[in-house]
Structure 1
Amino acid sequence: MENRKKMSVMALVLMIFASIFGLGNVTTAYYQMGYGAIIWYIAGAILFFIPTSLMFAEYGSALKGSQGGIYSWLETSLGEKPAFIGAFVWYAAWVITLLSQFSTICIPISGLIFGKDTTQSWHLLGLNSTETLGIIGIGLLCLITWLASRGFDKIEKVASASGIVILAISGLFIAASILMLFFNHGHLAQPISVHAMVSSPNSQFKSPIAILSFFVYAVFAYAGMETMGGTIDQVDKPERNFPRGIIYAGIGMISIYALGIFLWGVTANWNKVLGANSTNLGNITLVLMQNLGYTIGREIFHLSVHQALIIGNWTNRLIGFEEMMSLFGSMIFLIYSPLKTILMGSPKRLWPEKLTKLNDHKMPAFAMWMQAIVMGVVIFGVSFGGRDAQQFYTVLTDMNNVTSSVPYLFLIFAFPFFKRVQNLNRPFEVFKNQRVTDTICAISWITIFFGIIFTIIQPVMQHDGYTAFWTAFGPVFFALVGWLFYRHAVRNEETVAQEELD
């Protein structure tokens, strides 16, 4: 089991795409900002994604023998206590992300089967639709946990297959849009201008605060590269291939995001296609893909309205398949990597022995199933608990909006200290000048910090104090839980040591 073949650069790139990239990020960007999203996604790449990816590559290549990912990076730079708290906040954010994924996985499955979202009419054994979706989500949670616990090679295979599907369908979308552009002699359904490149057609993104808050969406579209740190020990020649994989995947994502946002304007006029009240963040991808298929049917093949609508339903099935595979690839990776990072990277003395024990496939199976039980209880409670439980889930989601960004503040803040650590072999090094490093880290840190502040301010401006409070309280709450857990573990350790002395 231990001598399994290591991941190649291409396998790592596919895994990165499976766990991070989403065509839905492109459709969300176009819905919220139109062409104006391109500038913000490029800004997000320049100010956040490129510098932090290079930082993570340096962290990972220098600490390639470590299994701890983000914990090991922070512990080497800042020490054990801040590393544990930062890693705990990071882990909590990814668990909430997983909960969201398992709660919504049925929507792309419905899109694949029916060509549209029919989940509100799903009923199983007399249960209502919400309860039925909860049961299906729990079943998939158990299936994916079981599969992931069978070994990293299973995770790699699913994630690689997902990455191939994502790239293939993204390529089909790009090819179809370029074909439409050619047939229309360069005419765009959404007119492009200097004004369109810096403003939004969406009435909710007209104010400066709302526009600046969109930057957080651009950051989230690239978020997750640090999760790869938990897989570095699975990469062949990691000191060379881990940085390469991050850089190749990064260039690919930036290119597809920018090109994709522009290409939606080929077939989708914002006011005509997206201006209806029925369009929202939940169904925006299906709306745009159906319109793409319909437009191709009408303008290229000159089909009837009915026949063009059928083409639109099949493009919805295609995007349903892509989104389903994207979620499966992401979930099977996130079931394992964040948990492995915090358990195997942090000192084993902080955890019960059973949680850190590996099975025959070298996986922390017991911990993975404990994680699945906790998540299953939450999904069950939300699904069967009525309005109060749904409100609880809304609170979790609001908390996660900022909680997901806060660990980057830890990682960026720690990097200058990491650069000052002596006696480290650094086979991959981009940031060689300390003053330049400090400046770049300061710019990236301030970028994330103000993105967080604007995310909190926006609901305040909309007189939604409830959302603003929970958005701001999330990272504080999880940091407090992490600190209490760490203090409890250390005190227990000191008590045991004292008893042994006595």
Structure 2
Amino acid sequence: MESNNKKLGWSNLALMAFVSVWGFGNVVNGFASQGMKVVVSWILMFSLYFVPYALMVGEMGSTFKDSKGGVSSWIKTTSGAKLAFLAGWTYWVVHVPYLAQKPQGVLIALGWAVNQNGSMVKNMNPMILQSMCLVIFLLFLWISSKGVNSIKRIGTIAGTSMFVMSILYVILAIAAPAITTAHTYHIDFSMKSLMPDFNFDYLTTLAILVFAVGGCEKISPYVNNMKNPSKDFPKGMIALAVMVAVTALLGSFAMGMMFDPNNIPKDLMMNGAYYSFQKLGQYYGLGNFFLIIYAIANTLAQISALAFSIDAPIKVLLADVDNRFIPKSLTKINENGTPVNGYKLTAVLVGTLIIVPALGIGDMTSLFNWLLRLNAVVMPLRYLWVFFAYMALKKAAEGKFQATYQFTKNKTFGFLAGLWCFGFTAFACIMGMFPKGVKTYSSEWYFQITLNVLTPIILLGLGLILPMIAKKTNKETENTAA
């Protein structure tokens, strides 16, 4: 029997989940999208969406404690191999917009580290910059194909440093008016100032918040390493929600003290984190000290995330795939254990998404904001499979699946909770397709919304086409071999 000192307590789980789910960029993006009205939005998001989402993940992890494929395994057990392949495909293909933006993040962080301002990227011609991004992406695609892992280890250290600095920022920014002579903006705590309008424009920003709080299914395997899963897992998830909520709310207040909520800079999503640390250094008489440390750490973290996100998702997709759904040519492995043809497919999809937008989006700030919002539309599509699996679990026959922890024993309530989260996620993704920050019905507006609609359709549609290609090509390969 495993000793207690090898078991996780609820506080250990909450801290692990907090580091993996939350980041300072989420605070910046939320504030840039909604200003101080994001405070009420965060409260609603955590209470009505994030807490049930996290508790459902706990039940799924407890029910399928021996599965190694995460969501794909949950779908395979509850709904069959074909849907499991589509879930696995979704989990991989949603990383394409993410990979298309990471080289931008590398150049932006590097520019701030060297020049201590955002001019290097902000004033650059979008086509020139995106061409540089393509070169960076192809370079790291080649590095990843060689099985080089040192960059990823450096990124772990850098990522941890950024996490610590993010917490430090919230503390020092909130404390600045009391212990320094810094000029800060007055925050209006009236309901009129904090309550969202719930109009069409507001609804288009929900995808950014869903994108921020998603991904806690990564911690699902740990539910079975807990001392008392039925009691400690919900404690850990509620503690996680409280920590994230407190960080989001205090971070939003800190941003509201530094930036005028009624006059938010257009490039705040792109440069907001750097502006924040630059101002923090000025408050405490340290110049650009905080900014330089953050920019260096973020450069290394962005590089690591790029290398890791090229390599890991495609390997997860192909590791345990049913050969009825994937052409054998895609599973070809080189001497370094790299799926070379899978890498080539990644290069084509990401390269296209790097270059094509630069043809119709006029400036770098708009291009960055658009690609970030596209990520907020596409990345949450993978969460749909979590809720689909949970609904399938609750619909299963009584006694078919056993769990040490359950979000709810009531099947009807559980199914409806899964349906609510599924519907809300889908709604947020659809509303996120409508462009923000550009003139409505202008040529750029039409260009952006066309890309926003076509990108997820094409990426997910490939997952429907591949089984048909596999059926034909795999049979031809077998006939040739015979």
The bucket for the TM-score relative to the shorter chain is 0.7 to 0.9
Distance 1:136 1:438, change over 3 A: closer
Distance (whole Å) between structure 2 residues aligned to residue 148 and residue 8 of structure 1: 32
Distance (whole Å) between structure 1 residues aligned to residue 119 and residue 16 of structure 2: 30
- Displacement of 1:371: 4.3
Distance (whole Å) between structure 2 residues aligned to residue 14 and residue 60 of structure 1: 18
5 Å-filtered alignment, 1:83-102, equals 83-102=84-103
Which of 443, 447, 451 lines up with 2:428 in the alignment?
451
User: What is the match of residue 393 of structure 2?
Assistant: 418
Distance (whole Å) between structure 2 residues aligned to residue 18 and residue 356 of structure 1: 33
Which of 185, 193, 197 lines up with 2:194 in the alignment?
197
Distance (whole Å) between structure 2 residues aligned to residue 429 and residue 419 of structure 1: 11
Distance (whole Å) between structure 2 residues aligned to residue 185 and residue 120 of structure 1: 32
Distance (whole Å) between structure 1 residues aligned to residue 181 and residue 112 of structure 2: 32
User: What is the match of residue 474 of structure 1?
Assistant: 455
Q: Name the amino acid aligned to 2:135.
A: I
Distance 1:384 1:207, change over 3 A: closer
- Displacement of 1:69: 1.6
Q: Deviations over 1:11-40 (max 9, x none)?
A: 987775665433122122222322211221
Structure 2 contact 377–429 (Cα < 8 Å) conserved: yes
Report sequence identity in percent.
Answer: 19
User: What is the match of residue 284 of structure 1?
Assistant: 272
Structure 1 contact 58–243 (Cα < 8 Å) conserved: no
Which of 462, 487, 500 lines up with 2:440 in the alignment?
462
- Displacement of 1:444: 1.5
User: What is the match of residue 164 of structure 1?
Assistant: 160
User: What is the match of residue 379 of structure 2?
Assistant: 404
User: What is the match of residue 304 of structure 1?
Assistant: none
User: What is the match of residue 3 of structure 2?
Assistant: none
Q: Deviations over 1:370-426 (max 9, x none)?
A: 4444444566677788954989x9998776542322232333133121234454342
Distance 1:116 1:137, change over 3 A: farther
User: What is the match of residue 217 of structure 2?
Assistant: 226
| 1:214 matches 2:205 | yes
Distance 1:289 1:187, change over 3 A: closer
Structure 1 contact 162–326 (Cα < 8 Å) conserved: yes
Q: Name the amino acid aligned to 1:410.
A: W
User: What is the match of residue 116 of structure 2?
Assistant: 115
Structure 2 contact 332–341 (Cα < 8 Å) conserved: no
5 Å-filtered alignment, 1:484-499, equals 484-490=465-471
Q: Name the amino acid aligned to 1:165.
A: S
Structure 2 contact 373–432 (Cα < 8 Å) conserved: no
| Number of residue pairs aligned between Structure 1 and Structure 2 | 457
5 Å-filtered alignment, 1:199-278, equals 199=196, 208-227=199-218, 232=221, 238=225, 250-271=241-262, 275=264
TM-score of the two chains, using structure 1 as the length reference: 0.75
Q: Deviations over 1:118-168 (max 9, x none)?
A: 544999xxx965544543443344445545668xxx95x556424421331
Distance (whole Å) between structure 2 residues aligned to residue 218 and residue 56 of structure 1: 19
| 1:433 matches 2:430 | no
Q: Deviations over 1:211-253 (max 9, x none)?
A: 1222211111122333556xx4xx6965769968876655433
| 1:314 matches 2:286 | no
- Displacement of 1:434: 0.8
Distance (whole Å) between structure 2 residues aligned to residue 56 and residue 382 of structure 1: 32
Q: Note the aligned Cα RMSD (angstroms).
A: 4.4
Distance (whole Å) between structure 2 residues aligned to residue 120 and residue 470 of structure 1: 23
- Displacement of 1:179: 2.4
Q: Name the amino acid aligned to 2:279.
A: N
Distance (whole Å) between structure 1 residues aligned to residue 306 and residue 62 of structure 2: 25
Structure 2 contact 95–379 (Cα < 8 Å) conserved: yes
Q: Name the amino acid aligned to 2:405.
A: F
User: What is the match of residue 301 of structure 1?
Assistant: none
Distance (whole Å) between structure 2 residues aligned to residue 384 and residue 467 of structure 1: 14
User: What is the match of residue 174 of structure 1?
Assistant: 170
Structure 1 contact 18–330 (Cα < 8 Å) conserved: no
Distance 1:94 1:411, change over 3 A: same
User: What is the match of residue 293 of structure 1?
Assistant: 281
User: What is the match of residue 308 of structure 1?
Assistant: none
User: What is the match of residue 135 of structure 2?
Assistant: 135
| 1:335 matches 2:323 | no
Distance 1:247 1:105, change over 3 A: farther
Distance 1:192 1:345, change over 3 A: farther
